[in-house]
Structure 1
Amino acid sequence: MTVKKVTFKSFGVDLLGNLYLPENFDESKRYKAIVGASPFPQVKEQVLATYGPEMAKRGFVFLGFDYLGMGDSPSLPGEFKQSRYMFRLLENTWDAVSYLGTLPYVEEILGLGICQGGSIISSAAVTDHRIKKIATVSGMMAADAFQWTDKNIVNQMIATANASTQKIYETGEPDFTAPFGLNDEQSKEEYVALSPFPEAGDSYDYYGRDGVKGPKTVANFTNLHIGDQAMQSLFSLCEHYADKIVQPTLVIYGTNASTAICSTAFIDKLTNDPTVLGLPEFGHVDFYYKPEAVKVSADAVAEFFNQ
């Protein structure tokens, strides 16, 4: 496997990515290419750096990249890093598809989204039929939290985000916050004691200060984000437009994960006869990095994309 550093234009700036190429890659041949969509709040060195090599080993070209304002990709002039806005993520994804379409060795473009990436790739595919098939893993396609959590909590999130938006506008300075209550300094014990999320320990094991892909391990990653995030992340097309998706769709999720409803609510609205792989033995975060879960999902994605 070879990893090639690449850039492509989106919103007039260069987004940075890694292009994973199969063993014995030959530019004169034609390959199926996958555009990867990452979980919130990740950068390309995290889940995409897990699935990139796995899909390359299975014969695919795989593009993992940093969205606008994330990781190694710049923010727009006058804006701030760590601003992950849903509609910009879709346009970044469309531009990633356009970039793959310029490569002479790409014969077909496919989409793979993990966690929030499931929402991104599903939403992007509604009107981008250059993406021929899509697959989601631990997908948060019901990104509208009103569907799966207490409305009072959501409205509190919105109120906090509204205040942050006003502060940013008035001061011209970023207002950083920890969207899930996890910062870059907490111990696991501190975070789990404070967190209301049932899988807080699993999340910490991945994202926390001492996690396998936390800020000490991934230099361009932080758990902090611009405080207006809730005004952006609650928007998603895919759960409302699921019946408009025409591409063959694979949905992989842990049936006992607290986020399972974000896959099942999406599945229920699909009209394209989706392929569904529900696995009770794996939790949401297991599919990010645990070898046994990644192997199952990568094998299933490869088989589906090769059909």
Structure 2
Amino acid sequence: MKYISSIILLATTLWLGADLNRENNNPMNTKDLKVGKNNIEFKSDGLKLAGHLHLPEGFDPKKQYRAVVVAGSLTSVKEQMADTYADRLSKQGFITLSFDFRNYGESEGEIRQYEDPELKLRDLEAAVSYLVNLDYVESVGGLGICTAGGNMAYLAAQDKRLKAFVTIAAWLPNAETLPLLYGGEENLKTLRSKGVNAKEAYQNNGVNEIIPAYSDHDQTASHVGPMEYYMDTHRGGGVPQWKNEFSVMSWNTWLDFDPISKADQIETPAMIIHSDGSALPDNAKLFYEQLKGKKELVWLDGNHFDFYDQKDQVDRSSKHAADFFRQTLNK
């Protein structure tokens, strides 16, 4: 009798798990899909996340495709560099998913512009779940530009469903580089204190203290110039869905972001695309050296922001990424 009860309990658990999976990641009816960009939604911790599902030319829902989750820089939205690379990879035969993390863009999340790598990890896991539940997806990889390169490291370190990942001009800080990036140990203490105070203010009165995320000159911004991509209204600064805002209570979670600490836990195939002009080039090499699985280091020309939207860097990077994913994205 106990054996029969255990079987019933197991079956119920599996059914509930499958039902929850469907609730959180409800794929579109294939009749509603079109080649190119499709608006979709999926859930992470019960929050609706807004995304774009990019389908390649000749898409056939009866076939099997390699798929890639694509994400971008700190505070960015899907309409910026994530869509740019998702579109490029889609044109090379992949299904791609770009989306807004919780708290950003069109996605839900109560604390707007709040940055937390652990929450982003959960959103990336939900994005992978969305893709693996599509009947026409055979395997899933990840591509991260700037901050999301580090976020992909967090994902690869623990989610074995991710079969390969690529970073492009990745933001890969560690404890040793933080004082150099943020004006020394005393200033780091000040920023952390501001984060604690802002969080207390939010908990006590619901006020979310906001500062500029990027500026060429404003010293109150979280990141101070030159920030041409964000300051140029013909580039990222002109994307209407994006807000140049950073929640002050993010300081501690943001400063704790340490992708390099994940490297020696990663056996997933990885390609690191970087340049001398991109952020923290020595850290990119250190991260690469510590990876445990199949890996490739691709060193290109160009400054950091070139890799967001400039044709030469985007074309070359996306081609390298596509070639790597063709080699590594297997079941």
TM-score band, normalised by the shorter chain? Answer: 0.7 to 0.9
| Structure (1 or 2) with the greater helix fraction | 2
Q: Which runs of 5+ in 2 are unaligned?
A: 1-34
* Aligned equivalent of 2:195: 161
Structure 1 distance, partners of 2:81, 2:37, is 15
Query: 1:283 and 2:315 equivalent?
Result: no
The 3 A distance-change label for structure 1 pair 143 and 114 is farther
* Aligned equivalent of 2:161: 130
Query: 1:42 and 2:76 equivalent?
Result: yes
Q: Which runs of 5+ in 1 are unaligned?
A: 183-190
Structure 2 distance, partners of 1:266, 1:148, is 18
* Aligned equivalent of 2:39: 5
* Aligned equivalent of 1:208: 231
* Aligned equivalent of 2:92: 58
Structure 1 distance, partners of 2:156, 2:191, is 28
Structure 2 distance, partners of 1:199, 1:265, is 25
The 3 A distance-change label for structure 1 pair 157 and 264 is farther
Q: How does 1:1-307 map to 2 (within 5 A)?
A: 1-75=35-109, 79-142=110-173, 144=175, 145-146=177-178, 149=181, 150-180=184-214, 182=215, 191-192=216-217, 200-201=225-226, 203-204=227-228, 206-208=229-231, 210-214=233-237, 217-236=238-257, 238-279=259-300, 281-307=301-327
The number of equivalent residue pairs is: 290
Structure 2 distance, partners of 1:53, 1:211, is 19
Larger radius of gyration: 2
Structure 2 distance, partners of 1:258, 1:235, is 17
Q: Secondary structure at the match of 2:239?
A: coil
TM-score normalised according to structure 1 size: 0.88
Structure 1 distance, partners of 2:240, 2:72, is 17
Letter in 2 for 1:260: P
Q: Is the 8 A contact 2:211 2:221 kept in 1?
A: no
Q: Secondary structure at the match of 2:317?
A: helix
Q: By how many angstroms is 1:168 displaced? A: 1.7
Q: By how many angstroms is 1:225 displaced? A: 1.8
Q: Is the 8 A contact 1:34 1:109 kept in 2?
A: yes
* Aligned equivalent of 1:188: none
Q: By how many angstroms is 1:273 displaced? A: 4.5
Aligned-residue identity in percent? 27
Letter in 1 for 2:208: P
Q: Secondary structure at the match of 2:79?
A: coil
Structure 2 distance, partners of 1:25, 1:225, is 39
Q: Is the 8 A contact 2:267 2:291 kept in 1?
A: no
Q: Is the 8 A contact 2:71 2:145 kept in 1?
A: yes
Q: Is the 8 A contact 2:267 2:294 kept in 1?
A: no
Q: Is the 8 A contact 1:22 1:61 kept in 2?
A: yes
* Aligned equivalent of 1:187: none
Structure 2 distance, partners of 1:159, 1:278, is 38
TM-score normalised according to structure 2 size: 0.82
Structure 2 distance, partners of 1:234, 1:11, is 24
Structure 1 distance, partners of 2:209, 2:149, is 27
Q: Is the 8 A contact 2:275 2:303 kept in 1?
A: yes
**Offset from partner CA, 1:108-140 (integer Å, 9 cap, x none):** 100101111011111111110100001000111
* Aligned equivalent of 2:10: none
Q: Is the 8 A contact 1:123 1:236 kept in 2?
A: no
The 3 A distance-change label for structure 1 pair 199 and 70 is closer
Q: Secondary structure at the match of 1:228?
A: helix
Structure 2 distance, partners of 1:213, 1:196, is 17
Q: By how many angstroms is 1:48 displaced? A: 0.8
Structure 2 distance, partners of 1:196, 1:95, is 31
Q: Secondary structure at the match of 2:261?
A: helix
Q: By how many angstroms is 1:260 displaced? A: 1.6
The 3 A distance-change label for structure 1 pair 261 and 162 is farther
Q: Secondary structure at the match of 2:203?
A: helix
Letter in 2 for 1:146: L
The 3 A distance-change label for structure 1 pair 141 and 25 is same
Runs of 4+ in 1 over 6 A off after TM superposition: 195-199
Q: Indicate the larger mover: 44-53 or 191-200.
A: 191-200
